[in-house]
Amino acid sequence: MNFIYSDKGICLPRGFRASGIHCGIRKNKTKRDLALIVSDVRCAAAALYTSNLVKGAPITVTKRNIGDGYAQAVIANSGNANTCNANGIEIAERMCALVEKHTGIPAADVVVASTGVIGQPLDITPIEGGMDELVANLGYDNSVHANEGIMTTDVKTKSVAVSFELDGKTCSVGGIAKGSGMIHPNLATMLVFLTTDVAITPEMLKKALVCDVADTFNMTSVDGDTSTNDTLCILANGMAGNALIDCDGESFEIFKSALHALTSKMCKMIAEDGEGATHLLISTVTGGKTKDDARKIAKSIVCSSLTKAAIFGADANWGRVLCAIGYSGADVNIDGVDVDFVSSAGEIAVCRGGAGVEFSEKKAKEILLQKEITVRVTLHDGDASAEAYGCDLTYDYVKINGDYRT
């Protein structure tokens, strides 16, 4: 399948406009803190949420609003998570009502999300005051502005899209994400908003999303913390004009492949932008007994604090990789594990059959000093494979989170 990537994000699919402004939730006036995404027509909608028992009020409201499988707009703020607040539900509902007041889109067709500090009341006043500007700035080429509106400690925007052919029609799937800290596998793991002009039923859209996250967002970890507001939402407005996808088949498989091409790219962008990160860490596992075993091993490696610290120091301490494999809970023959470190500077074998082999520390250092590092694990237990995404653990991670609230 030929996928063409674009930086137009959520605005590449037909019929989607976006906006992002600074309304005053955040003190820094150079930071956008409010975002809006609207479709020209009502969309099939599907979403997944954090597995944390402590959930932000917007999740409750969004679940209710898209319970019928449809939505037409997304409003999201940064700077305040609207979590653990006595009036949190009321504030989230008022945000939806403001969208209806200023766009005509029913409040019940609005996805609402918030991100930022937990446990502080969210004042609706700056959001109310910014709605005129937010709606006036809606545009078919404003994906990055909306992306900036949901960022917290992120350094880089994460706006990307792919286009592809389906039923002779050019279709697109686009997305924006925020995610830098409190990123850990367990459903969604950040704020991600996806759009597509593909015609697909809500049921098949949800099926595609659930299938995809198992190998993308649920395989991404920065620091082992699962946030309270994690939301992954996709809107499909059908404006590409393809035959409606309402069952399994070739068209559904093509759509799933396009979705995966987009989300796997977004996962790497999120991991690379981990708080304080200097390296993107990718763990690939082949030869696993089962898919579940391969996933457990890949995730265990990118979640290992000791492995992450070794990557930061460009230290080829492969024993930490073996250690992470050993406690992963996977059914694996440790005596059959091979490990290689791979980057743009080359690759080097450091372990064969569960034991160390001689290698050049100098060459290993050169490989591990590159921006993107792959820990390649080859098992000899079966034919299952998996890939996970993470980053190194640096001094700056502690600095960023030591005074995050104050």
On whether both 223 and 309 belong to a single domain, the answer is: no
CA 291 to each of CA 224, 354, 385, 405: distance values in angstroms, whole numbers, following the listed order: 22, 21, 6, 40
On whether both 310 and 345 belong to a single domain, the answer is: yes
On whether both 80 and 213 belong to a single domain, the answer is: yes
Supply the residues annotated as catalytic: 189
| Domain ranges, residue 332 | 280-402
On whether both 225 and 332 belong to a single domain, the answer is: no
pLDDT score of 314: 94
Last residue in a domain, options 240, 272, 304: 272
pLDDT score of 403: 66
On whether both 178 and 303 belong to a single domain, the answer is: no
Last residue in a domain, options 253, 272, 291: 272
pLDDT score of 188: 37
State pTM to two decimals.
0.85
CA dihedral 137, 178, 295, 388 (to 10 degrees): 100
| Distance from C-alpha of 43 to C-alpha of 62, rounded to nearest angstrom | 14
pLDDT score of 397: 66
Token readout for 323 is 């250690």
pLDDT score of 187: 42
- Answer for the pair 214, 255: CB distance below 8 angstroms, yes or no: no
On whether both 73 and 164 belong to a single domain, the answer is: yes
Last residue in a domain, options 216, 249, 272: 272
On whether both 336 and 226 belong to a single domain, the answer is: no
pLDDT score of 227: 64
Domains of the chain: total: 2
- Answer for the pair 91, 85: CB distance below 8 angstroms, yes or no: yes
On whether both 134 and 195 belong to a single domain, the answer is: yes
pLDDT score of 224: 54
> Could you read off the pLDDT of 371-385 as tens digits, one per residue?
999 999 999 999 999
On whether both 266 and 294 belong to a single domain, the answer is: no
Q: Which residues contact residue 223 at a Cβ distance below 8 angstroms, ignoring those fewer than 6 apart?
A: 181, 182, 183, 184, 274, 275, 393, 397
pLDDT score of 178: 87
pLDDT score of 68: 98
On whether both 73 and 195 belong to a single domain, the answer is: yes
pLDDT score of 181: 43
Per-residue pLDDT tens, the chain, 406 aa: give them. 789 999 999 999 999 999 999 999 998 989 999 999 999 999 999 999 887 778 889 999 999 999 999 999 999 999 999 999 899 999 999 999 999 999 999 999 999 999 988 889 999 999 999 999 999 999 999 999 999 999 987 778 889 999 999 999 999 999 999 875 444 444 434 799 999 999 999 999 999 999 999 999 888 876 555 666 788 999 999 999 999 999 999 999 999 999 999 999 998 888 877 666 789 999 999 999 999 999 999 999 999 989 999 999 999 999 999 999 999 999 999 999 999 999 999 999 999 999 999 999 999 999 999 999 999 999 999 999 999 998 888 776 666 666 655 5
On whether both 180 and 298 belong to a single domain, the answer is: no
Number of helical H runs and strand E runs in the chain: 11, 15
Please report, for the domain that includes residue 187, its CATH number: 3.60.70.12
pLDDT score of 44: 98
Q: Summarize the chain as % helix, strand, coil (round to 5).
A: 35, 30, 40
